[in-house]
Structures are given as C-alpha cells and as structure tokens.
Chains A and B, each alone.
Chain A
Amino acid sequence: MKCRKCTNRAAINMRQHKLALCPEHFIEWVQQQTERFIKKYRMFTRDDRVLVAVSGGKDSLALWDILLALGYQADGLYIGLGIDGGIDYSAESHRCVQKFVEERGDGLTLHVVDVEVLYGASIPEAARSVARGRGKPCSVCGLTKRHIMNRVARDEGYDVLATGHNLDDEAATLFGNTLQWAVGYLRRQGPVLPASAQGLARKVKPLFRFYEREMAAYALLRGIEYIYDECPYAAGATSIRHKELLNELEISSPGAKLQFYLHFLQAREQYGIFQPQDSTVELHTCPTCGQPTTNPEQCSFCRTWERVREQMTKRPTAKATNP
C-alpha cells in the first residue's frame, strides 16, 4: 500500500479515514490534526501555559511531543504512584519520562510528585488501608491523581491541564456510561472541561479524535520509548473490555467508534441532550487542602488520605507522614 501523499510505502492505514500514510506524512498529519482540534475546540493558544500530565505511556508522551513540535508552552507533570506489580511498573514509567526529557535537552520543565514521599504511602498501600475501591487501587489512584494534577496546575499558575486521552478512551467511557445511563457522567464527558471559579483547572484532551492505534504508531515512528506493559491493576478492567468490544465492531464497520463519540458531541450541541450543568453544582472549598469539592466539609481526597494515615500509624511498620 502506497502513501496517499507520495509514492513511498505506507506505514499505517487508517480505515476509518480511508487514508494510508508513510512515516513522514503520518507524523505531519498527526501534528496538523492536533493543531486543528486544539483550535476547533478552543482548547488553548500559544500564549497559554500548558501542563501535560505524563504517565510514561504512549499517549501522554506523544501528546507532549506533539505540543512541543507545534511550539506550545508545554511542561510535564509526572506522578509517582509506587506501583510495582512484579514489573517495577512505576519505576519503569518514570524512567521513560526521564528519558523523554533528557533526549530533548535542558529546555523542558518536568514536575515530579511522588505520592509515597509526599503522603506517606504508595497507592497500593493506601488502597489496602481504606475500604475504597473493593480491593483494587484504581479508585484511590484516580482520586489522588485528579487532586495532584489540579493542585499543581493551580499552584504553578498553568492556564490549562492537558491529558493524553484518545478516541478509544473516550468512546469506551461513553459506552460504559451509556450502558449505565449515567446521566451525571454523560454531562461531564467532553474534550474540554472549563475551569471553575472555585479553583478547578481547565482540562483538555487534544488527542481525543485519534485512535489508540494511531497514537501507538506515532510513538513508534517518533522513537518515543514508552512503558509497554499494562498497569498490573488494569487486568480485567471493564474499560478494557469495552475497548475490545468497540474494536470488534470496528472490524466490520470502520469508523464506528469515532462516529459513536462524535455523534454524541453533535447530539449534545444540536439537540441539547446531556448538557453540562456545572452552574447547578454547588462547590465548596475543602478546609484542609483548599481545593474545590461538592462536599460541604472535607473533600474525598483529604478524607481518604486521613484514613490512610490513621491506618498506617496503627501498624508496627508504619511509614505515614504528614503531607
């Protein structure tokens, strides 16, 4: 198969776009499309300071690479979760992020927050200490990451927080929320979540229209070393099963998952369904950390981590420290 733009051999064929491209033209296409989506959805401008949440995975590192290539002011935030899982998962993901930074010279700023150092327990330890999450650390992990991302974005004066969510992530989330008719979540889902006056940072997903397969191809073609192994706790996750189901549909109907998500956004725009209703949600300020919360008292993050520290100090080998 030949590249649509030149006579060279194509490296990737995107059936949903009927578009095959060689490495050079694919990289160019991804960067141009990202620029188009940033402008179309009014995510940010070149005057804005962007904080990119990088996990060491293909999507977030590809996003950072694209934003730098496009000339945006993009800094990174890496959150050390202390996950081992027999494969040194967090250590390896941190190494990939460090390598990315070192390869690009001194000009890059990377903020590193180590959960265990800052809060006294790794994510798996914290999850074991509290009832939250039914034995899996994903709930505590998500809560902690959201808190840290918002805090760093706010404290360091960033205009916007960018994450590497791709189309497969968004379509799988939409699929899951639709199966449950989770109206509250459907209202909150979108490529741009505006900042709130109470201190929630503006959040954007510039890669939300790219297939996961395309982001993996971009990372490979750009020579970005990323953590290939799955998070050890992700095995059996419902969201992965939903991605597999959508990919099965994609075999016979190329573009099905893209249409599923884009038509959701169009239906919201044209027919007013699942409109975000941020203004009706009353936000309070957490008396402990100062971050916004729907709870009139302490936020979920502070309540959870207070319980973690209580449990950790009860143990003979406690490692708990105050934040």
Chain B
Amino acid sequence: MDEQRKMNETKPTATLIFRKQTFEVPAGMTIRDAIIRCELNPEAVLAVKDGELVTDDTHLNPGDQIKLVATISGG
C-alpha cells in the first residue's frame, strides 16, 4: 500500500470523484481501467469531464478531474 502511494506520489495523477469519495489514479490509463482500479463498476457509472459526458476508453491526462455519475436507483 505504501509502495502504491509512493508510486502515485511520484507519477502524474488524475482524480476520479464519485459521490463524496475522491480517488487519485495514475494518468495515462483509461477511465474504464481507473474505475475498475477504484473497485467501482464501469457499467453503473457515467464519466463527466469538464462538464461533458465522455466514453470510458478516454485516456486520463495528468490533472484531469473526472466526475462519476452513479446510475443505479430504485428500491
């Protein structure tokens, strides 16, 4: 875990925001891979970048902020 944190500290990162949670992930990976890395389900969220809906094959640039919109509802 410490190694992972160190790796994220030294490499450029992007941020995923899901509800009240924030995840730092390495830049360069796709949004889909980043979502899976954060243990979320890419089939249950939408990705919004700079206010626009983007497909999850989009590669993350350093400093990107991606808002993940939850899509599951009901009870």
Contact = CB atoms under 8 A, between A and B. Distances in A.
Interface string B35-68: 0000001111110100011111110000000000
A168 B46 contact: no
B55 A1 contact: yes
Interface string A2-15: 00000001111100
Nearest to B51: A220
Contact of B43 (A23, A59, A247): A247
Given A12-B46, A213-B46, A251-B43, A243 B72 contact: yes
Contacts of B54: 9, 11
Contact of B53 (A168, A221, A251): A221
A23 B52 CA distance: 10
Contact of B41 (A138, A220, A247): A247
A57 interface: yes
A29 to B, nearest CB: 14
A216 B43 contact: no
A213 B53 contact: no
Which of A220, A234, A250 lies at the interface centre, i.e. has the most chain B CB atoms within 10 A of its CB? A220
Interface in B6-56: 41-46, 48, 52-56
A216 B68 CA distance: 12
Given A213-B43, A251-B41, A244 B55 contact: no
Contacts of B72: 168, 212, 240, 243-244, 247
Contacts, number: 76
A268 B50 CA distance: 46
A35 to B, nearest CB: 23
B27 to A, nearest CB: 19
Given A1-B57, A12-B55, A240 B44 contact: no
B55 A13 contact: yes
Chain A contact-residue range equals: 35 or more
A217 interface: yes
Contacts of B69: 216, 220, 228
Given A12-B46, A220-B46, A230 B55 contact: no
B64 to A, nearest CB: 15
Interface string A232-251: 01100101100110011011
Contacts of A240: 72, 74-75
A225 interface: no
Nearest to A21: B55
Contacts of A247: 41, 43-44, 72
Contacts of A12: 46, 53, 55
Interface string A202-225: 000000000011011100110000
A20 B58 CA distance: 13
B73 A58 contact: yes
A316 B53 CA distance: 53
- Shortest beta-carbon contacts, A-B, top 8: A234-B75, A237-B75, A216-B71, A11-B53, A247-B43, A213-B71, A13-B55, A250-B43
Given A243-B44, A247-B43, 4 more contacts: A1-B58, A9-B54, A212-B73, A247-B41
Interface of B: 41-46, 48, 52-58, 69-75
